[in-house]
Amino acid sequence: MVKNEVVVITMSKQELDDYIEKYYKNNQIQGKKEAGEKLTQKQAAALFGVTPATIIRWQNKGEIPVNKVGRTVFYFRDQLLEVAKKNPDMFK
């Protein structure tokens, strides 16, 4: 593949999740493997007792860690809980 070449592929959410998991395992990326369950914006909002719009605002401000693969946005539960420990007022 040529550097800066854009490749577009189509895959299901499950295939993407499997690909991400395999990528992390093969590249032994630290922190992500131990991060645990992946959450959608709705699930992250439910975890904190806020709206998805609040989650997006927090992510844009850099208050919570966010992961993106293409247009897919997800959060790791353990990373969010770590933020919550440091900022208990985020929970309602």
Q: What CATH number is attached to the domain comprising 67?
A: 1.10.10.10
Tens of pLDDT along 5-20?
A: 877 888 888 888 888 7
Within a domain: 45: yes
Domain count of the fold of the chain: 1
Within a domain: 43: yes
Average pLDDT over residues 69-89: 90
Q: Which residue has the higher pLDDT, 11 or 23?
A: 11
pLDDT band for 32, please (50, 70, 90 cuts).
very low
Q: Which domain holds residue 81?
A: 30-90
16-30, 31-45, 59-73, 76-90: least confident range? 16-30
Within a domain: 22: no
Within a domain: 71: yes
What pTM was computed for the model? 0.59
The 10 Å CB-count burial string (b at 16+, else e) for 44-77 is bbebbebeeeebbebbeeeebebeeeeeeebbbe
Within a domain: 7: no
